Amino acid sequence: MPPAKFASSAKPPSGRYLQFAEREEIALRRAQGLGVREIARQLGRAASTISRELRRNAATRSGGLEYRATTAQWHADRSARRPKPAKLVVNPVLRAYVQERLAGTVVAPNGAAIPGPAVAWKARRHGPRQDRRWGKAWSPEQIARRLRLDFPEDPTMRISHEAIYQALFIQGRGALRRELTACLRTGRTLRVPMARTRKRGKSFITPEVMISQRPAEVADRAVPGHWEGDLIIGLGGSAIGTLVERTTRFTMLLHLPPMPGHASGPRVKNGPALAGHGAEAVRDAIARTIATLPAQLRRSLTWDQGAEMAQHAHIRIDTGLCVYFCDPRSPWQRGTNENTNGLLRQYFPKGTDLTVHDADTLAAVALALNTRPRKTLGWKTPAEALDELFQSIDKGEHQEAVATTA
């Protein structure tokens, strides 16, 4: 008969865990000599669940591992009690090991301590371009994994990386000081839930404009007119827009000069983007540049999820381009454009002011790239490949006109 706490009047346990009736069945079938997999098959449970149950909750008083349902239920109830004392509270040796790997002093090869910059604890994350506290700065996962190598025979020197994180961010869970969060790689003092980061995204991007909805003809480069775009960022928020045609690798550069009022006073919070690469400026630059192409070469545009494309709906209306967005942190989905940006850095190095280059200079650089032979084009230049497309388009229109006249 089960204990009173497991009577029918009590709240039934969650189906995720084994119940007392199941433990009785396990004990009965174990006494009959059935194996773990056969017991799991008859109970509809995973074999690993039965194996873990027999290993963790067996009766050990007789010197063996005899399984009894009442004893197993007692072990399970004891393990389920909350709250439990944290390992870092009851094990000072383990706590000292974790703290030393998190915030231990950096030492030179000769053994001399290197204190690093003196940074006061401000109970918030470090700001940009500011000194940070120096330490060994092992990650919690590195500490948890290293314990098995340093103490292979000591089971008390074990802790999961999640328990270390909880001891740092939840003060009721452990004995680690809150200021040790400054030694983490991110330096954040508050934990960001993964569910929040997964939901984070741009409000102007909907599932209908993601790259997964892009036509299959774009991937094989057989049909011209599909473009990839991005921004090259320079010093002081300066930027140049780049457009690359996937089939011919033809490159067009967008001149994005600063707008009036830029750098003339304190920046207005939530004000217009005056650096020249805001949503309106990029929209106008793309529309102005793409409009010079025939309709057959204006099929789609693939961009990353930058805020400069917030007005992509207007771009589609003004130019007829279907705009698609790459997945977050997936630059390889615009490989042609990324490769071209690398070539452009020869002319526009990182950390330089890009506002000094006018539209004529950008046109000259684009011409230099478009007249450079490419191996992927059979050593033709992008300009020659595009010219062949223009000729094929004109020839097709001429034949269509002749057929219509006939």
Sequential DSSP letters for 273-315? -TTS-SHHHHHHHHHHHHTTS-GGG-SEEEE-S-GGGTTHHHH
Question: Cβ distance 340 to 361 under 8 Å?
Answer: no
Instruction: Quote the Cα angle for 375-371-325, to 5°.
Output: 75
At 302, which helix (H) or strand (E)? strand 300-303
Question: Cβ distance 290 to 321 under 8 Å?
Answer: yes
- The structural domains of the chain, with segments of one domain joined by +, span 4-80, 87-195, 207-395
89 Cβ neighbours under 8 A, 6+ residues apart: 95, 174, 175
- pLDDT tens, position by position, 157-188: 999 999 888 888 876 555 787 778 888 877 77
At 114, which helix (H) or strand (E)? strand 113-114
CATH 3.30.750.24 corresponds to the domain 207-395: no
Cα–Cα distance between 345 and 335 in angstroms, integer?
16
Residue for token pair 């709250």:
83
362 Cβ neighbours under 8 A, 6+ residues apart: 240, 253, 254, 255
Kindly give the confidence (pLDDT) of every residue in the chain, 406 residues in length, as a single tens digit, with 9 standing for 90 and above.
445 444 444 455 667 889 999 999 999 999 999 999 999 999 999 999 999 999 888 887 766 778 999 999 998 888 888 777 888 888 999 999 998 988 888 888 888 888 888 888 777 777 777 788 788 888 899 999 999 999 999 999 999 999 888 888 876 555 787 778 888 877 777 777 665 555 555 677 888 899 999 999 999 998 899 999 999 999 988 999 999 999 999 999 999 998 776 666 666 666 667 778 889 999 999 999 999 998 889 999 999 999 899 999 999 999 999 999 999 889 999 999 999 999 999 999 999 999 999 999 999 999 999 999 999 999 999 999 999 988 887 776 645 554 555 4
Cα–Cα distance between 260 and 341 in angstroms, integer?
27
Cα–Cα distance between 114 and 71 in angstroms, integer?
55
Phi, psi of 98 (to 5 degrees): -65, -45
pLDDT at position 194: 61
- pLDDT tens, position by position, 287-318: 999 999 988 899 999 999 998 999 999 999 99
Structure tokens given for 282: 């990029």
Question: Cβ distance 173 to 110 under 8 Å?
Answer: no
pTM beyond cutoff 0.75: no
CATH 1.10.10 corresponds to the domain 4-80: yes
